Structure 1
Amino acid sequence: MTQPDNGFDWPRLRQRLAALPGGPGLWLGGAALLIAVIALVISLTASSAPAPVAGATGPVGPTIPAGETITTAPVGTLPAEPGTGPAPGPVPTEPVATTTSLTCPAATVTVADAAGLSAALEQAGPGTSIALADGVYPGTFTAAAKGTADRPIFLCGGAGAVIDGGGVKKGYGLHLDGADHWRIAGFTVRNAQKGVMGDGVNHSVISGLTVTAIGDEAIHLRKFSSDNVVENNVISDTGNRREKFGEGVYIGSANSNWSAITGGAPDTSDRNVVRGNTISGTTAEAVDIKEGTTGGTVTGNTFDGSAVTGADSWVDVKGNNWTISGNTGQRSPADGFQTHQVYDGWGRGNTFTGNIARVDGPGYGFHLAPVEDNRVACDNKAIGAAEGLANVACS
């Protein structure tokens, strides 16, 4: 047998094997046996290792059937169930750069007029997916059915699908009345006293809407509405009925309204997330967070206070333990961000981090009144604020 010419001294190897006790055959056979035993051990070890677990390398979100996708602005990943637990990994202090979208499944019902929309909302149940055809839907509409965590109810349309409330003096364009586990996406709400109102709503998402030409506030969550997400909406032209009520996003209720709305109890609309929204042309705050609310997040939003006449900041926090991070604001009549204590025990424990306040006004970037245990991190920035970064030392 011809040996390969690779520089190895094959004749010398044959001579040494021939000189060993038992001859080369015995030694070669032993070597083969040893190799086989090693291979067997490796095989048994590999087969006894635990099989990989699906999703073990990261959280597993809800599975949404394929269908229409409504693309929204850059924000973080939609949680599987808002407010049910801490997100894995460190909490970002600046806007998250990834792009997400709320995916609407194939429609179970498609509507093209106001009567059809009213009927579809009334008949909806877990797993229903309502698609709005382009066109104007005159009137005000109420959704009261409840979805479930694994079978939410969808109401989806493009920007050309318009709910028109018929006037800024009265009515809610879309009223979510106890409507848990809904996904509201993509269409336009205009010309109503209030744009989208949520009463007793939990685990729902309001995403990618255009809300404009509104008498009071654009989007409001109250009456024990918790664990919801308000994301990627474009809000403008509010306060056309009364300028001091023209907020962009409003969470909770003022204590003066608790008797009428919550039977006198604090309105614990907790753990709501307001993120990735573009808010301009509001006559009051872009985001107003009321006493009685706890543990929410305002992150990655863009504010323009050029039209603010009924307030003096973009964000006013009167609740407890909110995180306000990674937002950018420009032009305010006084301060960029504020806290207030209007009810004993509230307006405390709030944290501001990674925000950019282009105030171009006479106040502070961050004004805490009173200071309490609220915190302004040193990674916040104030530009054009006559009084400086904050009325407290950053930490």
Structure 2
Amino acid sequence: MPRKSLILSTSLFVAVASSILLPGVLSSAHAGSGCPAATTTITSNQELASALADATPGSVISIADGNYNGDWVATASGTPARPIWLCGSANAMLTNDGYSGGYGLHLNGAAYWHLYGFSVSNAQKGVVADAVTGVVIENLKVYDTGDEAIHLRENSARNTVTGNVIHDTGNRREKFGEGVYVGSSDANWGILTNGQPDHSDFNVISNNTIYNTTAESIDAKEGTVGGLITSNRFDGAGLTEEGGDSWVDVKGNDWMVTENTGTNSRGDGFQTHHRDRTKDGLGDWGLRNTFSANTAEVQGPGYGFYIHDPSTTENVVACDNQVANAGLGYANTACAPTT
């Protein structure tokens, strides 16, 4: 049966996520601290390629303003105490041959990186992080991509995506134009995670501004567990029929979605979807997610909150959310009072 009992107040709600469900993510990653003094300053494609290849714990790579077009991949890892920094202003632009090119930046098994301040554009995908932990993606501008802007996948856990400005995605394929994509579809587990659920768990998606995406602003896939989506701002005016019909779609389990603000949707504001793979031994997904203290100015035909299979999935929509101009009303399930 759905949980209709009292849920945590918003302040305690976020504290639980950061200190219990997400140990070490916000503190050890130094989110919000700015960029340290550079150990290497790069001004050319060749220098950037060398700096990425030669990075060691504690390296601080500063990108001078300019356009850097190439296949940018990092594989070295930092440590919790000595992350590797890649920094630049918004005028330092990483690209990769346009909407049908490669990734703007690929962290391939590269743990404990801190990306700060620069721009990523004109690539098929913006920033892709595979099999990483302790990564912070902060204050970037990621836009004009063929598919999604930022993607955490292949069991990438305990990372933070914060303070980024994301827009104009899905220029190659509207269906894949998410702003922030966490995990992977179960249809791709055979390719990406040896047929097992993509446990891109305990990630924090916070304080991002996301607009003009063809698909969801944030898509948390089946297989993911225990993440936090908080204090983001969404405008869904760019959502398309092929792309998406909500700002946030949670298909994972035990996510907390709180204090976000959205406007304009071609469907609902926030959604969950139930994906039962227990017959295959791959879990039951879309369960026990909680939505609290969000503001949904839907300006669309659906609900503020749509819960798939509400009678069996134990998802909670708190009564402290604010919903306006939703054609079907507040939610398709009774709201839960808060303490």
Q: Which whole-Å deviations, capped at 9, do the CAs of 1:186-240 have from their partners, x for residues lacking one?
A: 0000000000000001011000000010000000000010000000000000000
> 1:343, CA displacement in angstroms?
3.4
Cα gap change, 1:151/1:86 in structure 2, threshold over 3 Å: closer, same or farther?
Answer: closer
Q: Which whole-Å deviations, capped at 9, do the CAs of 1:294-340 have from their partners, x for residues lacking one?
A: 00000000000001001110000000000000000000001000000
Does the 8 A contact of 2:25 with 2:159 survive in 1? no
Match of 2:62 in 1: 131
Match of 1:60 in 2: none
> 1:82, CA displacement in angstroms?
9.3
> 1:103, CA displacement in angstroms?
1.9
> 1:113, CA displacement in angstroms?
1.1
SS of match in other structure, 2:275: coil
Match of 1:144 in 2: 75
Match of 1:373 in 2: 314
Considering only aligned residues, what root-mean-square deviation do their CA atoms show, in Å? 1.9
- Distance in 1 between the 2:133 and 2:334 partners? 37
Match of 1:320 in 2: 253
- Distance in 1 between the 2:308 and 2:71 partners? 39
- Distance in 2 between the 1:84 and 1:321 partners? 15
Match of 1:7 in 2: none
Does the 8 A contact of 2:253 with 2:285 survive in 1? yes
Which runs of no fewer than 5 residues in structure 2 stay unpaired? 1-13, 278-283
Cα gap change, 1:170/1:87 in structure 2, threshold over 3 Å: closer, same or farther?
Answer: closer
SS of match in other structure, 1:117: helix
- The structure whose Rg is larger is 1
Alignment of 1:89-100 (within 5 A): none
Does the 8 A contact of 2:25 with 2:134 survive in 1? no
Q: 2:44 aligns with which of 108, 113, 127?
A: 113
State whether structure 2 residue 296 is matched by structure 1 residue 360: no
Match of 2:329 in 1: 388
- Distance in 2 between the 1:227 and 1:347 partners? 20
State whether structure 2 residue 281 is matched by structure 1 residue 340: no
Does the 8 A contact of 2:25 with 2:158 survive in 1? no
> 1:105, CA displacement in angstroms?
1.3
Does the 8 A contact of 2:26 with 2:160 survive in 1? no
- Distance in 2 between the 1:377 and 1:86 partners? 26
Cα gap change, 1:111/1:278 in structure 2, threshold over 3 Å: closer, same or farther?
Answer: same
> 1:342, CA displacement in angstroms?
2.5
SS of match in other structure, 1:393: coil
State whether structure 2 residue 103 is matched by structure 1 residue 164: no
Q: 1:300 aligns with which of 231, 235, 258?
A: 231
Higher relative contact order (CA 8 A, sep 6+): 2
Q: TM-score, normalised by structure 2?
A: 0.88
Q: Which whole-Å deviations, capped at 9, do the CAs of 1:116-156 have from their partners, x for residues lacking one?
A: 00100000010100000011101120011010011110000
Alignment of 1:276-295 (within 5 A): 276-295=207-226
Does the 8 A contact of 2:264 with 2:300 survive in 1? yes
> Percent identity over the alignment?
53
Does the 8 A contact of 1:107 with 1:131 survive in 2? yes
Q: 2:119 aligns with which of 178, 183, 188?
A: 188
Does the 8 A contact of 1:181 with 1:204 survive in 2? yes
Cα gap change, 1:162/1:276 in structure 2, threshold over 3 Å: closer, same or farther?
Answer: same
Q: TM-score, normalised by structure 1?
A: 0.76
State whether structure 2 residue 248 is matched by structure 1 residue 248: no
- Distance in 1 between the 2:257 and 2:37 partners? 36
Letter of the structure 2 residue corresponding to residue 334 of structure 1: G
SS of match in other structure, 2:50: helix
Does the 8 A contact of 2:199 with 2:225 survive in 1? yes
Which runs of no fewer than 5 residues in structure 1 stay unpaired? 1-74, 89-99
Q: Which whole-Å deviations, capped at 9, do the CAs of 1:89-121 have from their partners, x for residues lacking one?
A: xxxxxxxxxxx7332111111001111001000
Cα gap change, 1:149/1:85 in structure 2, threshold over 3 Å: closer, same or farther?
Answer: closer
Residue correspondences, number: 308
Cα gap change, 1:87/1:191 in structure 2, threshold over 3 Å: closer, same or farther?
Answer: closer
Letter of the structure 2 residue corresponding to residue 387 of structure 1: L
SS of match in other structure, 1:101: coil
- Distance in 2 between the 1:236 and 1:130 partners? 26
Cα gap change, 1:82/1:179 in structure 2, threshold over 3 Å: closer, same or farther?
Answer: farther
Cα gap change, 1:339/1:82 in structure 2, threshold over 3 Å: closer, same or farther?
Answer: closer
Q: 1:239 aligns with which of 151, 157, 170?
A: 170
Match of 1:26 in 2: none
